[in-house]
Amino acid sequence: MALDPVRLAQALIRCPSVTPHDAGALKVLADVLEPLGFTCHFLPFGDVMNLFARYGTGSPHLCFCGHTDVVPPGDEKGWTHPPFGAVIENGRLYGRGAADMKGGIACFIAAVAGFLSANPGFSGSLSLLITGDEEGASVDGTVRVLPWMKENGHIPDVAVVGEPSNPKMLGDEIKIGRRGSFNGSLTVRGVQGHTAYPARADNSLPRLIAMAQALLSHEFDKGTKFFPPTNLQITSIDVGNSAYNVIPAGGSLKFNVRFCDLWDSRTLEQRIRSALDAVSPDYELAVHCNAESFMTKPGPFTDMAVAEIRAVTGRAPALTTGGGTSDARFVHAYCPVVEFGLINETIHRMDENAALDDLAMLTEIYARILARYFSG
């Protein structure tokens, strides 16, 4: 059965599924998957609807993970074409989700349709885990579906996350892991007073500034083979003071750390507190880790993916761990996972788009990975 990935991507884009609203996107997928022989399970958690679909019960079992939710389009007047219009112009498909990642989902399903048509005796398993909560809080999506999959015997042997992984050209990169993400809120307190009488006050801002400098100048590591160096960025400084002649009662700053596989959230917090203690013990620190770092060890599965991507694009993708977080951070606890999809240059921007040629090539890459993986 031939299935056009462009038409399916258009149908998905025309569903304005801004997190957490599904807007019919998952039904579009189920209506395509069920005739192919998939059993579809709609899994609501909180305000989020998720879809798990499986073909077959045998092994090996490959799962494709993705999301149909998208970020808001912003001011629609700034778009050349309506963000949910799925307009094609000059060989490109425009719309919110074209690259991130409705286009990638459409390519995988088109590849699956071709694979099943060419392999009527297929005895393995194919599945899709599609959430509506990747662009949001990520608390009622993939992270909740995976335990359900485990309870019901659906954990795959390997997984592919279809996030747009390529910076400029299809075949640039495969993500084999991601850095951890760690947030901190630092507060330093003093005593408010008049700037003309500093002895009657305690100005905490010099301590806050010194602590900010200690954080920014601290070298955590030099990175590892597949991870760049750990990076700390201060994202906010606030003293709540609009007057020139008032010493504020205190101040605070917020920071985010993207950390490599030399750390976990516990050891990273210890290192940060040590750096702050060297300045002053008088502070309050609240921390939260969004994601631990992880990596799928390069091996036969990654080698196979690299080979098939190179066969289609002529480029051998680099194995990388850069960028933000993705739902692969949840999947890796259950099975090896890699990320490969479209180009991420226009994601979350006005006029998000994907080249029709890239959609065709990505479909071919997925088809070749399926054929190679299930051939043993």
Residues taking part in catalysis: 69, 134
Q: Which two tokens stand for residue 163?
A: 């996030």
d(CA 165, CA 66): 13
> How large is the C-alpha radius of gyration of the chain?
24
Spatial distance between the Cα atoms of 356 and 369, rounded to a whole number of angstroms? 20
Query: Tokens representing 25?
Result: 């996107």
Alpha-carbon distance of 176 to 160, in angstroms, equals 10
Number of Cβ within a 10 Å radius of residue 67: 31
**Whole-angstrom Cα distance, residue 146 to residue 154?**
9
Q: Characterize 69-81 residue by residue with b for buried, 16 or more Cβ atoms within 10 angstroms of its Cβ, and e for exposed.
A: bbbebeeeeebeb
Q: Are 109 and 33 in contact (CB under 8 A)?
A: yes
Could you identify the residue written with the tokens 């490969």? 340
Mark residue 56 as left, alpha or beta (left: phi above 0; alpha: psi -120 to 50; beta: remaining). Answer: left
